[in-house]
A and B are shown apart, each in its own frame.
Chain A
Amino acid sequence: MVDINGTLIAQVLNFLFLVFILAKFAYKPLVGVMEDRKNKIASDLETAEKSKQDAEAIKAEYAAKLSEARQEAQTILDTARKTAQAEHDRIMAETRVEQEQFVASSRESIILEKKKAMNEIRGQVVALSMIAAGKIVEQKLGSEEDKQLAGSIVDGILNK
């Protein structure tokens, strides 16, 4: 049952043959695919991690840009409001000044016109009165004193 014989040598050869055959035909492709898979999983994980980091960076960048834009918009709005208010104030002030000038000049010209008209009327009335009075009292009232008298009378009437 425990005879050592030629089988021993044959078994060693058999085994070495099997090692050779398996190493050549079966072992390499299997190990290759296992290594490939290992590398692929590792690189996939790495890529995924990198993509995640990139995405987070982009997200942060976008958020920063968004808040910046919002701030800028707020600034623009504020400036516009301020400018509009200033323009509004300026126009209002100008208008008021113009209006006042216009009113003042109008008043002046009215007074002037009135004075002019009054002078004219006075002249006419004096002349008219002179003619009327002359006609009525003939030459009798042709002296300077009479004219002055008549003038003072007309003045008294007009200024009433």
Chain B
Amino acid sequence: MGNTAAEFPQEAATASELIAYYPTEIAPGIVINMQTMYMTWLTMAIVFLLFFLAARNPKMIPSGLQNVMEFFMDFLNGLMESVLGIHGRKYMASFVITLFMFILISNELGVVIPQIGGHWTSPTNDINTCVGLSLTVALGVYVVGVARRGLGHFKHFISPSPAFLPLHLLEELTKPLTMALRLFGNILAGEILLIVLYKLSPWIIPEFWVMFSIIIGFLQAFIFTMLALTSYAIVFAHDH
């Protein structure tokens, strides 16, 4: 965040607001955080470009970017195969790979690009993004479950006995919530700490935190994807 990061607290409404979302009312009653939106579009463009350039002219003997993207895909395919099985992998591959790459690039965007200056934040430092993703995953389980197994999908709510229904319902609520808050908390805290560290020391110490944040960004993307996979596992459990 460098020098520009120090200016944000003055712009923000209160001293506690270190991160600016620039909420804008684009239509009556509809407020959009424009900073999050721009960064999301940038993330989407980067993810798309990475995949597009790698897949534009795929070669039998991969090199360069194709190698890197195939490494990620192979890694995720392996995870999916172990959790969802082969059918589940084929069904969920594009969703899971996109989820992982989107969160990974989002997380790294807020810690890597600010090193060259400017107000760059991670889209995942906004609770809206995290809740949006975790809700997509949670609702996706219902959509895929009903699409593949019909209404029988809802049987798992009363297994092993109907007495477990409240627990299952509670889990359906807490799972997306904890997924969203874990990602949100980690990324936001990382960015705030980076700003604070820049205030304490302009050099060296923040760079160590940047390196650590890069690892945290990967780890959080992995954790989120892994949890998403486990919630989909119930849909494909009978295909094994």
Contacts and interface: CB of A to CB of B under 8 A. Distances in A.
Given A15-B132, A32-B58, A34-B73, A22 B36 contact: no
Contacts of B51: 22, 25-27, 30
A26 B60 contact: no
A114 to B, nearest CB: 111
Given A5-B32, A22-B98, A30-B51, A11 B58 contact: no
Interface string A1-27: 111111111111011111101110111
B23 A5 contact: yes
Given A22-B94, A30-B51, 5 more contacts: A7-B128, A26-B48, A26-B51, A27-B98, A40-B60
Interface of A is mostly: helix
Contacts of A1: 16-17, 19, 127, 188
Interface stretch (B37-45, B79-87, B150-158, B232-240): B37-45
A5 B48 contact: no
A28 B94 CA distance: 9
A33 interface: yes
18 contacts: A1-B16, A7-B31, A7-B36, A8-B131, A8-B132, A11-B132, A12-B136, A18-B44, A22-B97, A26-B52, A29-B55, A30-B58, A30-B69, A30-B73, A31-B93, A32-B58, A33-B59, A33-B62
A1 B40 CA distance: 17
B194 to A, nearest CB: 16
Nearest to B58: A33
Interface residues of A, number: 34
A36 interface: yes
Query: Interface size for chain B: under 10, 10 to 19, 20 to 34, or 35 or more residues?
Result: 35 or more
A23 B66 CA distance: 16
Interface of A: 1-12, 14-19, 21-23, 25-34, 36-37, 40
A23 B91 CA distance: 11
B73 A31 contact: yes
A33 B129 CA distance: 33
Nearest to A14: B40
B170 to A, nearest CB: 21
B33 interface: yes
B102 interface: yes
Contacts of B94: 19, 22-23, 27
B126 interface: yes
Contacts of B26: 6
Contacts of A29: 55, 58
A69 B127 CA distance: 86
B95 interface: yes
A53 B237 CA distance: 41
B37 A10 contact: yes
A27 B52 CA distance: 8
A49 B64 CA distance: 32
